[in-house]
Amino acid sequence: MNFFQKNITLPAYRRGFHLITSAILKEIPEVKNIRTGLLHVFIKHTSASLTINENADATVRTDFESHFNHMVPENTRYYQHNQEGPDDMPAHIKASLLGSSVSIPVTDGKLNLGIWQGIYLCEHRNEASGRKLVVTAYGV
Model-level pTM? 0.96
To 5 degrees, how large is the angle CA 116–CA 109–CA 2? 130
**Position 113, amino acid:** L
Bridge pairing between strands 48-54 and 2-9? unpaired
Strand ranges in the chain using DSSP code E only, listed in sequence order: 2-9, 16-19, 36-43, 48-54, 101-107, 110-111, 117-123, 132-139
pLDDT at 83: 87
Domain count within the chain: 1
pLDDT (mean) for 106-120: 98
pLDDT at 75: 92
pLDDT at 42: 99
Query: Domain range spanning residue 110?
Result: 2-73+82-139
Whether 71 has a pLDDT exceeding 90, the answer reads yes
Strand partners, 123: 16, 48
Residues 15-24 have pLDDT tens digits of 999 999 999 9
pLDDT at 82: 87
Q: Is the dihedral of CA 74, 93, 82, 127 positive or negative?
A: negative
% the chain with pLDDT above 90: 99
In angstroms, the CA 102 to CA 49 distance is: 10
Bridge pairing between strands 48-54 and 16-19? unpaired
Domain of 28, CATH number, reads: 2.60.120.460
